[in-house]
Structure 1
Amino acid sequence: MKIILIVTGIILLAFIVVQLFAMGSQNKIETYPYKVEKKYEDFEIRTYESRLFTSVKLPSGNYKDVSSKGFSILAGYIFGGNEENEKISMTSPVSMSLEDSMTMMFLVPQKYEKSKLPKPNQSSIEFREEPSKRMAAISFGGWANDKKIEEYKDKLKNALELEGIYYTNKFYFFGYNAPYEVFNRKNEIVVELKK
């Protein structure tokens, strides 16, 4: 019985240390820069800066089926899977387009120019310049899944229609946490607004 209590205590302590480390490291991660234009009850309007992303196109529009595959391809690149074996800092959020075939994107740290980025070992990885854009965003906690993504996408559409705000069909899922983070999980559904 005493051994079980000691082992349980060690596991609990390790879990707490990992969570505290995750929460601390979140504050140091470079994020996709934006300014909040207006806050509503359920969503906000933001203006995002133009930025460079690494991206990989995935064959399905199903989050569950493709999210881990896309993440491992792009993470492989930034963890040294490139011609220079160069490690590139992780950024936030991880972005996925919500289409029939999804595109997953990682923000490239601002210190890199497109021409200076190491060439990926995987030919499916592309560099993508995203122009500045106005977007509406709605947030939710916990772990994302297809049901939650669809639910918050519908909630955002309804809220925008109620306010008479015109949006495009370009919806994205933004995930802000590493898979092992348990507390303070943040996800967003964002949509580009019509000009």
Structure 2
Amino acid sequence: MLKTVKQALFSTEIQTPKWTPVETPSSDYEVRQYEPAKWVSTEVTEVKDWDSAVSTCFMRLFGYIQGNNEKKVKVDMTAPVNTYTQPGAGPTCESTMTVSFYIPPEHQEDPPKPSESNVFITERPQITVYVRSFGGFTNNAKNQEQIQQLSECLKRDGKLFDENNYYTAGYDSPFKLVNRHNEVWLIAEQ
């Protein structure tokens, strides 16, 4: 447990999913092609409290990596903490948020099955995303601002992307105070 807590708190030795950079015409964003991979995920439906929803999901997933799984094995912490948001149809409609941890390579082929019914393994196909990075502490308002800026850049460059759903990606422990790294991702359409 100490190793996982250390990884979660101090972002040391954390593995990330594999991706390949794709050439982009702009310095305003990156284009990445992520390889297919398995993630452990959980989902909530929320109205306005993004921070509370992410915290609830994080703790469920943290339990899984601490051994709350059928094999009772501990799984190393990875980055990013990835949140897929499907906004509701209107301003007061509930959004669905799926928070995920990348499953490290040593468990990719046969990940431990979660013990909790609200935690599940997802197998993501190869995906191409447009990425905008930013620093500091984040919240829903900052994420929305970054998504809007990324969207405007992509429209300016004539790029096709899913305009409804998006990902956020956090790479740092809440205890890291400087040089924080966050991202928003929009899914490229062909």
CA contact (8 A) 2:113 2:121 kept: no
Which residue is equivalent to 1:22?
10
Unaligned runs of 5+ residues in structure 1 are 1-17
Greater relative contact order (CA < 8 Å, ≥ 6 in sequence): 2
Residue 79 of structure 1 is matched in structure 2 by: 66
RMSD: 1.7
**1:46-82 deviation per Cα after TM superposition (whole angstroms, max 9, x unaligned):** 1111110000011216422201100000011101112
Q: Give matches, 1:122-133, under 5 Å.
A: 122-133=116-127
Residue in 1 that maps onto 2:186: 191
Percent identical residues: 30
Instruction: Give the alignment's TM-score, normalised by structure 1.
Output: 0.83
- The equivalences for 1:1-195 within 5 A come to 22=10, 25=12, 28-39=13-24, 40-60=26-46, 62-99=49-86, 100-113=95-108, 116-168=110-162, 169-195=164-190
User: Could you tell me how far apart the structure 2 residues matched to 1:37 and 1:83 are?
Assistant: 38
SS at match of 2:106: coil
- Higher helix proportion: 1
Q: Is the 8 A contact 2:133 2:182 kept in 1?
A: yes
Shift of 1:118: 2.4
Q: TM-score under structure 2 normalisation?
A: 0.85
Q: Number of paired residues? A: 172
Structure 2 Cα separation of the partners of residues 119 and 46 of structure 1: 29
Secondary structure at 1:151 match in 2: helix
